[in-house]
């Protein structure tokens, strides 16, 4: 937690958050006077997801994402809480930077989507071409932007040239300088209705999307691929793919396992909000699912490190993933039933 001044001289409180986008969204909402926690935003915005995209590659490795598409958490949360917001994309980088400066001058704080590689303040372990990192710009003085990156403990400085490059990083999934800010928020938001909407759409995304690469079916698809990978690709290449997968499970955002814990935190808050014992039980189950994702990543890391070769095999890792998929399927079916009974 650190306090920082905005362009109009009013204070902004920076919180350390686990995930960039839900952290940014909750910071934007808090700045407008709505007291909302990060897990709540994550739940209302239906942040939890699974998708395996073998045709979209980042540095040669397929994407397996554990959260919804970048930008959607903010969009959905703001809509469901009845806030007015503005989103913009630009073709011309110069226009994008001018617009940002102008909006900042009015005392707004602005969320932006950037490429992590070009942010100069991050250290080597963060620096790779990931094009969905969200940050907030607070103010601009003499060609230096003050940035509140919710992944870090304190606000930080970033030069204009680097920020421009990060916002307009060419390549697949170019963010095109995507920026968003809130115009006003509903003074009395309907949290209960919003949570129900969020949970319902999460259940749909995890269970009912009619494509085999999304949701629970996507997990099974990927698990089968992991089991077959050493025979198909050879041990070295399979390990390379597995390292890429563990990166998605453990590191990106807050990692697949981490997202499960955050969702459990959301369910706990929702249980208090509705006074529902069933949601509290589901929160515990979600926590256990997070633990089983972590068990999967530990097994996978042991395979790559070649420790205890007889026991730690690709079949075991794939099996653990299938277990996760089965548990999540049951979980979201139960959640769907519980949500149906809740009253706004």
Q: Which residues of the chain form contacts with another protein (CB under 8 A)?
A: 16-18, 39, 59-60, 117, 122-129, 151-153, 165, 169-172, 174, 240, 243, 246-247, 249-251, 254-255, 257-258, 261-262, 264-265, 268, 287, 294, 297-298, 300-301, 304-305
Nearer to another protein, 97 or 265 (CB): 265
Least gap, CB of 261 to another protein (angstroms): 4
Nearer to another protein, 58 or 179 (CB): 58
Least gap, CB of 284 to another protein (angstroms): 9
Nearer to another protein, 108 or 241 (CB): 241
The secondary structure element, H or E, covering residue 343 is none
Least gap, CB of 32 to another protein (angstroms): 23
Least gap, CB of 16 to another protein (angstroms): 5
Rg of the chain's alpha carbons, rounded to an integer?
A: 21
Burial code of 41-54, b = ≥16 C-beta within 10 A, e = fewer?
bbbbbbbbbbbbee
DSSP 142-200: TTEEEEE-TTSSS-EEEEHHHHHHHHT--STT--TT-EEEEEE--SS--HHHHHHHHHH
Contacts 24+ apart (CB under 8 A), 147-150: 147/121, 148/4, 148/12, 148/14, 148/27, 148/109, 149/20, 149/119, 149/121, 150/14, 150/15, 150/16, 150/17, 150/19, 150/20, 150/23, 150/24, 150/27
The C-alpha torsion from 235 through 312 and 58 to 251, rounded to 10°, is -160
Least gap, CB of 77 to another protein (angstroms): 18
Least gap, CB of 153 to another protein (angstroms): 7
User: CB of 247 within 8 A of CB of 301?
Assistant: no
DSSP 230-271: HHHH-HHHHHHHHHHHHHHHHTSTTHHHHHHHHHHHHHHHHH
Nearer to another protein, 230 or 257 (CB): 257
Least gap, CB of 60 to another protein (angstroms): 6
Nearer to another protein, 67 or 294 (CB): 294
Helix, strand, coil in percent for the chain, rounding step 5: 55, 20, 30
User: CB of 215 within 8 A of CB of 66?
Assistant: no
Nearer to another protein, 180 or 266 (CB): 266
Nearer to another protein, 121 or 224 (CB): 121
Nearer to another protein, 108 or 297 (CB): 297
Q: What are phi and psi of 138, to 5 degrees?
A: -100, -50
Least gap, CB of 85 to another protein (angstroms): 26
Environment class of residue 16 by beta-carbon count within 10 Å: exposed (0-12), middle (13-18) or buried (19+)? middle
Least gap, CB of 164 to another protein (angstroms): 11
Nearer to another protein, 104 or 238 (CB): 238
């Amino acid at each position: 937690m650190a306090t920082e001044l905005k362009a109009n001289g009013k204070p902004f409180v920076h919180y350390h958050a686990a995930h960039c986008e839900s952290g940014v969204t909750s910071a934007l909402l808090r700045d407008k006077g709505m007291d909302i926690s990060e897990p709540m935003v994550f739940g209302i915005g239906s942040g939890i997801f699974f998708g395996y995209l073998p045709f979209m590659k980042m540095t040669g490795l397929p994407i397996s994402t554990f959260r919804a598409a970048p930008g959607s958490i903010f969009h959905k949360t703001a809509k469901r809480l009845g806030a007015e917001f503005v989103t913009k994309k630009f073709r011309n980088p110069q226009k994008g930077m001018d617009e940002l400066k102008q909006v900042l001058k009015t005392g707004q704080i602005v969320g932006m989507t950037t490429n992590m590689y070009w942010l100069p303040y991050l250290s080597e372990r963060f620096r790779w071409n990931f094009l969905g990192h969200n940050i907030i710009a607070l103010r601009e003085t003499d060609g230096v932007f003050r940035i509140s990156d919710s992944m870090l403990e304190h606000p930080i400085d970033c030069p204009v040239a680097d920020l421009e490059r990060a916002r307009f990083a060419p390549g697949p999934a170019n963010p095109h300088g995507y920026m968003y800010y809130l115009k006003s928020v509903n003074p009395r938001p309907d949290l209960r209705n919003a949570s129900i909407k969020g949970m319902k759409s999460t259940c749909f995304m995890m269970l009912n999307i009619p494509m085999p690469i999304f949701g629970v079916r996507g997990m099974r698809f990927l698990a089968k691929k992991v089991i077959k990978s050493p025979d198909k690709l050879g041990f070295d290449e399979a390990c390379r793919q597995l390292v890429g997968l563990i990166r998605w499970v453990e590191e990106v955002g807050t990692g697949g396992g981490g997202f499960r814990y955050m969702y459990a935190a959301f369910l706990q808050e929702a249980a208090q909000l509705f006074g529902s014992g069933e949601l509290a039980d589901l929160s515990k189950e979600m926590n256990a699912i997070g633990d089983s994702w972590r068990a999967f990543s530990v097994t996978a890391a042991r395979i790559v490190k070649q420790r205890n070769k007889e026991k730690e095999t690709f079949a075991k890792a794939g099996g653990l993933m299938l277990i996760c998929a089965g548990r999540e399927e049951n979980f979201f079916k139960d959640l769907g039933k519980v949500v149906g009974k809740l009253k706004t």
